[in-house]
C-alpha cells in the first residue's frame, strides 16, 4: 500500500503545476467534449502520447469548479495498487474539498482502475479520464461500464490548429489574396514536414521526436505487450514508415521480416494501431470476408515521425499529402475505405449504409496521370451512385465535368481549412 503522505505530496504538487499551463491553442475537440459534461457518462479521451490530451484536461480544469486532478504517469505511482484508490480519494477530498468532477490522466497504468471509476460514477461523480492505448481503455471499461461512457480521440494539431499556434488568423477570402495565399502555402509546407505535435513545434528539437517515438515503442508497445522480438518490431515500424500510404499484406511483411507466420505480423500491427502510431485502411467490399482478406493500406499518425524512417516531403510529396488527408478524415470521424477494381480510388467515405464521397489525392494533376486519377473516381462514382467527388492536390484548383459527373479539384491546404 502506498504511503498516504506520498499520495498527498503527489496530489499537492500536481495541483500547483496545473495552475501554470501558459498559453494554449484552443483545440477543435474541446468544445465537443465540454458539451457532454451535463451527461452522466464517463468521458474518455484517448490518443497518441503528447498529442495534447493532458493540456485539454488542464484547460477544462481551469474552467470548472469543484474538480480534482491526478496524473498516473508520475513514477511515484509505480507501486500504486487498486486497494490504494480509497486512500487517494481521501487525499483528493482533503486537498480539493469535495470534488464533483474527477480528472484522471493515463489511469490505465493502474490495474483494475475501472472498478474505482465505476464506484465514483455510482456516487454521482463526473469522471474524465485519458489514455494512450485505445484497446486497453475500451476493453476494461467496456466490461464495467457498458453504455456508460463516451469516448473521444485526440490527434496532433490539425492544420487549422497549427495556424492558431502560429498566431495566423484564416478567413476564406485569404485564399484569393496573393500575399496571404503564398503565406498559407508556405505554412502548409512547414506543417507537412514538421507535423502537429505541440511540444515539438515549440522547441523544434528533433531529439524530442526521437525520444517520443522510443517512449511509444518501448513503453506503449514492447513493455505493455511483453514483446521479445524487439528487433523485428523495430524493423516492422521502419518498413511501414517508409511505405506509408502503400498497400501491404501480412504475408508479404512476414516474408520480408523472415517470420514463420503472418499472425505475428497481424498482432504487431494491432499493437501499433492501439498505440495510435499507425492506422490500417481496409478495401471497401460488400463481402466482409473479401474485405478482410484484401491488402490493406498503412498510414502514420503524424508526419514528424517521417524523420525516423528517413521519409522526407521533397522525395515523397504525393504519399505524404495522402497521409495528411487520411489523418484529417480520421480527425473528422469519417468511416473511410479505399477502392480497387479495374481502377483505384484513394478514399471512399461511408455514412450509414451508403458511400457518400469519393476522393483522390495527388501532388500534381498532370496530363500524364490525369486519366488514371479521374478514371478511378469515375468508376467509384458510377458504382456507388456518387454525384460529387474530390481530387486534392498541392495547389491546383478547378472543376471537371465528365460523363455527367462533377469532380472538384482543390488544394489540400484549402480542404483542410474547409470545416
Q: Are 110 and 131 in contact (CB under 8 A)?
A: no
The residue among 124, 154, 184 that closes a domain is 154
Q: Do 42 and 130 contact (CB within 8 A), yes or no?
A: no
The domain in which residue 8 lies consists of 4-154
In terms of domains, do 264 and 407 share one? yes
For the segment 219-277, what is each residue's pLDDT rounded down to a tens digit? 999 999 999 999 999 999 999 998 999 999 999 999 999 999 999 999 999 999 999 99
Residue 250 DSSP one-character state: H
Place of cell 516531403: 313
**In contact, 29 and 176? CB cutoff 8 Å:** no
| The pLDDT of residue 246 | 95
What is the phi/psi pair of residue 402, to 5°?
Answer: -130, 125
Q: Comparing C-alpha atoms, which of 139, 70, 79, 136 is closest to residue 108? A: 136
Residue 296 pLDDT: 98
**Is 335 in a helix, a strand, or coil?**
strand
Distance, in Å, from the CA atom of 73 to the CA atom of 225, rounded to the nearest integer, reads 18
Please check whether residues 76 and 200 belong to one and the same domain. Answer: no
Phi (first) and psi of residue 400, to 5 degrees: -115, 140
Q: How many domains, in total, are found in the chain?
A: 2
- Assess whether 203 and 348 both reside in one domain: yes
Residues 114 and 69 in one domain: yes
Question: What does the pLDDT profile of the chain (419 residues) look like in tens digits?
Answer: 788 999 999 999 999 987 666 677 889 899 899 999 988 899 999 999 999 998 999 888 888 889 999 999 999 999 999 999 999 999 999 999 999 999 999 998 898 898 999 999 999 999 999 999 887 677 777 777 777 889 999 999 999 999 999 999 998 888 889 999 999 999 999 999 999 999 999 999 999 999 999 999 999 999 999 999 999 999 999 999 989 999 999 999 999 999 999 999 999 999 999 999 999 999 999 898 999 899 999 999 999 998 776 655 555 889 999 999 999 999 999 999 999 999 999 999 999 999 999 999 999 999 888 999 999 999 999 999 998 899 999 999 999 998 888 999 999 999 999 97
pLDDT of residue 58: 86
Same domain, 66 and 179: no
On whether both 271 and 412 belong to a single domain, the answer is yes
C-beta separation of 314 from 260 below 8 A: no
The answer on 344 and 202 residing in a single domain is: yes
For residues 92 and 208, membership in a common domain is answered with no
- What contacts 2, CB < 8 A, 6 or more positions away? 77, 79, 80, 81, 84, 87
Separation of alpha carbons 117 and 120, rounded Å: 5
Residue 118 and residue 208 in one domain:
no
Q: How far is CA 74 from CA 21, 164, 226, in A?
A: 17, 30, 21
**Last residue of a domain, which of 100, 119, 154?**
154
Q: Which residues pair with 103 in a beta bridge?
A: 69, 128
Do both 75 and 165 map to the same domain? no
User: Whose CA is closest to 133, among 122, 141, 125?
Assistant: 141
Q: Are residues 95 and 186 in the same domain?
A: no
Question: Do residues 120 and 128 touch, judged by C-beta distance below 8 A?
Answer: no
Closest CA to 387 of 357, 342, 419: 357
pLDDT tens-digit map of 154-179: 999 999 999 999 999 998 888 889 99
Amino acid at each position: 500500500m502506498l504511503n498516504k503522505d506520498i499520495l498527498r505530496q503527489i496530489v499537492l504538487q500536481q495541483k500547483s503545476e496545473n495552475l501554470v499551463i501558459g498559453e494554449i491553442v484552443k483545440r477543435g475537440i474541446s468544445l465537443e467534449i465540454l458539451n457532454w459534461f451535463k451527461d452522466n457518462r464517463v468521458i474518455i479521451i484517448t490518443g497518441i502520447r503528447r498529442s495534447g490530451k493532458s493540456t485539454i484536461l488542464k484547460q477544462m480544469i481551469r474552467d470548472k469548479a469543484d474538480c480534482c486532478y491526478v496524473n498516473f504517469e508520475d513514477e511515484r505511482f509505480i507501486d500504486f495498487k487498486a486497494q490504494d484508490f480509497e486512500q487517494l480519494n481521501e487525499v483528493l477530498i482533503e486537498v480539493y474539498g469535495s470534488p464533483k468532477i474527477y480528472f484522471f490522466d493515463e489511469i490505465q497504468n493502474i490495474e483494475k482502475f475501472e472498478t474505482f471509476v465505476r464506484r465514483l460514477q455510482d456516487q454521482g461523480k463526473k469522471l474524465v479520464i485519458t489514455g494512450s492505448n485505445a484497446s486497453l481503455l475500451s476493453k476494461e471499461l467496456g466490461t464495467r461500464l457498458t453504455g456508460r461512457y463516451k469516448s473521444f480521440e485526440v490527434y496532433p494539431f490539425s492544420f487549422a490548429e497549427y495556424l492558431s499556434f502560429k498566431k495566423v488568423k484564416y478567413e476564406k477570402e485569404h485564399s484569393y489574396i496573393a500575399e496571404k495565399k503564398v503565406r498559407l502555402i508556405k505554412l502548409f509546407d512547414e506543417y507537412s514536414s514538421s507535423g502537429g505535435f505541440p511540444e515539438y513545434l515549440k522547441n523544434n528539437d528533433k531529439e524530442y521526436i526521437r525520444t517520443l517515438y522510443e517512449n511509444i515503442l518501448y513503453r506503449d508497445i514492447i513493455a505493455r505487450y511483453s514483446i521479445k522480438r524487439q528487433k523485428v518490431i523495430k524493423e516492422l515500424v521502419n518498413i511501414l514508415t517508409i511505405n506509408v500510404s502503400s498497400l501491404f499484406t501480412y504475408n508479404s511483411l512476414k516474408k520480408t521480416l523472415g517470420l514463420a507466420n503472418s499472425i505475428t505480423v497481424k498482432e504487431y500491427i494491432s499493437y501499433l494501431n492501439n498505440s495510435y502510431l499507425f492506422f490500417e485502411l481496409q478495401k471497401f467490399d460488400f463481402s466482409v470476408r473479401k474485405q478482410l482478406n484484401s491488402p490493406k493500406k498503412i498510414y502514420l499518425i503524424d508526419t514528424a515521425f517521417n524523420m525516423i524512417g528517413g521519409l522526407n516531403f521533397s522525395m515523397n510529396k504525393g504519399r505524404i499529402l495522402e497521409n495528411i488527408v487520411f489523418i484529417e478524415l480520421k480527425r473528422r470521424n469519417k468511416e473511410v475505405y479505399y477502392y480497387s477494381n479495374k481502377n483505384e480510388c484513394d478514399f471512399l467515405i461511408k455514412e450509414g449504409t451508403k458511400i457518400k464521397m469519393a476522393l483522390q489525392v495527388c501532388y500534381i494533376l498532370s496530363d500524364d496521370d490525369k486519366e488514371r486519377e479521374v478514371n478511378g473516381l469515375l468508376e467509384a462514382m458510377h458504382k456507388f451512385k456518387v454525384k460529387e467527388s474530390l481530387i486534392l492536390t498541392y495547389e491546383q484548383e478547378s472543376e471537371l465535368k465528365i460523363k455527367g459527373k462533377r469532380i472538384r479539384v482543390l488544394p489540400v491546404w484549402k480542404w483542410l481549412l474547409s470545416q
